[in-house]
Amino acid sequence: MNQTLSLYRLQQTDSQTTRALTRLQAIQEILENDEALRVAREQAEAAEKNRLSAERSLRQAEAAVRGQQIKIEQTEASLYGGQIHNPKELQELQNEAAALKRYLATLEDRQLEAMLADEEAEAAHLAAQATLQGTQSGLNERNRSLSQEQASLQREIEKFDAERQAIANAIPAEYIETYNRLRQQRGGVAVAGISDSTCAACGSGLTPAQQQAARSAAQIAHCPSCGRILYGS
Ligand SMILES: [Zn+2]
Say whether both 189 and 153 belong to one domain.
no
Say whether both 122 and 184 belong to one domain.
no
Nearest in space to 116 (alpha carbons), one of 58, 182, 181 = 58
Say whether both 223 and 122 belong to one domain.
no
Mean pLDDT in the chain? 95
Nearest in space to 190 (alpha carbons), one of 2, 3, 15, 1 = 15
- The helix-helix angle for 35-80 and 87-169 (nearest 10°) equals 170
Judge contact between 195 and 178, C-beta under 8 A. Answer: no
Say whether both 115 and 178 belong to one domain.
no
Judge contact between 16 and 156, C-beta under 8 A. Answer: yes
Say whether both 115 and 69 belong to one domain.
yes
Judge contact between 80 and 93, C-beta under 8 A. Answer: no
2 located within any domain? no
Residue ranges with CB less than 5 Å from ion ligand 1: 199, 201-202, 204, 223, 225-226
Say whether both 64 and 76 belong to one domain.
yes
Beta bridge partners of 230: 192
* CB contact set of 37 (below 8 Å; sequence gap of 6+): 135, 136, 139
* Domain edge (last residue) among 154, 169, 184: 169
Residue 154 has a pLDDT of: 98
28 located within any domain? no
* Domain edge (last residue) among 117, 148, 169: 169
72 located within any domain? yes
For the chain, 233 residues long, give each residue's pLDDT as a single digit of tens: 588 999 999 999 999 999 999 999 999 999 999 899 999 999 999 999 999 999 999 999 999 999 999 999 999 999 999 998 999 999 999 999 999 999 999 999 999 999 999 999 999 999 999 999 999 999 999 999 999 999 999 999 999 999 999 999 999 999 999 999 999 999 999 999 999 999 999 999 999 999 999 998 778 999 999 999 999 88
pTM, rounded to two decimals:
0.71
Say whether both 161 and 107 belong to one domain.
yes
Rounded distance from Cα 220 to ligand 1 centre (Å): 14
Rounded distance from Cα 69 to ligand 1 centre (Å): 94
Domain, as residue range, for 207: 173-231
* Domain edge (last residue) among 148, 169, 190: 169
Q: Measured between alpha carbons, how far is 29 from 143 in angstroms, rounded to an integer? A: 12
**Structural domain count, the chain:** 2
- The helix-helix angle for 3-32 and 173-185 (nearest 10°) equals 40
Residue 233 has a pLDDT of: 81
Q: Measured between alpha carbons, how far is 101 from 232 in angstroms, rounded to an integer? A: 101
Residue 40 has a pLDDT of: 96
Rounded distance from Cα 198 to ligand 1 centre (Å): 8
Rounded distance from Cα 227 to ligand 1 centre (Å): 6
26 located within any domain? no
Rounded distance from Cα 197 to ligand 1 centre (Å): 11
Q: Measured between alpha carbons, how far is 205 from 230 in angstroms, rounded to an integer? A: 12
Output the domain CATH number for residue 165: 1.10.287
Say whether both 138 and 213 belong to one domain.
no
pLDDT (tens digit per residue) in 72-125:
999 999 999 999 899 999 999 999 999 999 999 999 999 999 999 999 999 999
Residue 218 has a pLDDT of: 79
